[in-house]
Amino acid sequence: MKVGYNCRYLERPVWTGTEQYLYNLLQGLESLADGPDKILFGMNKSVLEQKMRPALGRSTLVTKPPSCCQDNQVGRFVWDLQAVGKMADRHKVDVFHGTAFTLPRNLDMPAAVTFFDLAFLRHPGFYSLKENLYLRWIISRSAKTASAIITISEFSKKEMVSLLGLDPQKIFAIPLGVSNNPQISEDSRDDVIIRYGIKKPYLITVSTVTARKNLKMLLQAVTKLKQLKGSGITLCIAGRDGFGAGEIKKHCLMLGLGSRVIFTGPVPQADLEVLVANAACSLAPSRYEGFGLPVLEAMAAGVPVIAADSSALPEVVGQAGLLAHPDNPDDWAFKISSLLDDPGLGQRLRQSGRERAKTFTWHNTALRTQQVYENIKV
């Protein structure tokens, strides 16, 4: 079976969860003895070869450079909707999988599409008008086109039935996996931490700096934590700026936290793994998540986790971390303080987090995704 993928996203210099999902899914499919032949469509062959080398295997790279008028945001959008579909038809793929909400137009084969969450419908104020309009249009269109919809948690599946009125028999909830925890040398670790201006001990949240991630509440919790413990703990917010980032940073300064909070901006994956692995605690205060991959990655690295008791986060954390109310900074400050003050609690969470993370593998994600392909193949 030949399955086609739009891999243009993997050409980006810094990856977020969208790119990590596609890359690790492809690696997982490669690990299956009877996995599909993967046709990877992109714009830049040399960049894709470099990024995809470990996951190529049974893959064929097919690239079509953009024309001069396509080398911009609108042009890439048109490329996603038109060029990829024509390439998939030309190479006679059996199934096309759109891994980030979008399916090309006029496909001649059955298609699956992955919807991560519906935050833009549940909390439209967290997005710009342009983002809202685009997501409403593209998801409505893709849902009608797709033979199957893949999502990443039971929570998100219920949201799609509730908010989009989709047939639950058409939706497949397939959890994400977590990669093997890398071995990090002490010298490399120290170099990375110093480069980002971080002093230990520190807390970390891996998050786009945007309203949906509930960072204003977390900053208030840090202020209260300062009152409980005095100085000495830093918060590292690792991620690119998104909608509302300027307002969040102004709020940080208004609270007097300029020296205690570090906004790293985009972080390469290798550096991010170091920053997470050496944190005293990983925090996930988001009001709405379709899954919460940074939580799983922190648990796999043996880092205690405190997550918001909302959306899909409790589904991922299980009993292996602490949960706090997403609107209560006092609750967050208390639980962070308790964790920092109780070495026994920290050790229990490290152990239970590692065990919990072992139950989420990209191999299983790939296996269940391939079953979807088999179900819809003509």
Which residue stretches of the chain are H helix?
17-30, 45-52, 73-78, 84-90, 119-122, 129-145, 154-164, 186-195, 215-229, 245-254, 269-277, 293-300, 313-317, 329-341, 343-357, 362-376
Whole-angstrom distance, CA of residue 364 vs CA of residue 25 = 10
**CB within 8 Å of 319: residues ≥ 6 apart:** 352, 356
- The model carries a pTM of 0.90
Task: Please list the pLDDT of the chain residue by residue as tens digits (378 residues).
Answer: 999 999 998 998 888 889 999 999 999 999 898 999 999 999 988 888 888 776 577 788 998 887 655 567 777 888 888 889 999 999 999 999 999 999 999 899 999 999 999 999 999 988 889 989 999 999 999 999 999 999 999 999 999 999 999 999 999 999 999 986 666 666 677 889 999 999 889 999 999 999 999 999 999 999 999 887 766 689 999 999 998 999 999 999 999 998 899 999 999 888 999 999 999 999 999 999 999 999 999 999 999 999 999 999 999 999 999 999 999 999 999 999 999 999 999 999 999 999 999 999 999 999 999 999 999 987
CB count within 10 Å of CB 101 equals 17
Q: What are the sequence ranges of the domains in the chain?
A: 2-177+361-376, 186-357
Q: Is the sign of the CA dihedral 6, 8, 11, 12 positive or negative?
A: negative
Fold match flag (2-177+361-376 vs 186-357)? yes
CATH of 186-357, one of 3.40.50.880, 1.10.3720.10, 1.10.10.10, 3.40.50.2000: 3.40.50.2000
Q: Are 109 and 145 in contact (CB under 8 A)?
A: no
Rounded to whole angstroms, how far apart are CA atoms 346 and 335? 11
2-177+361-376 has which CATH code? 3.40.50.2000
Strand-pairing partners, residue 324, are: 308
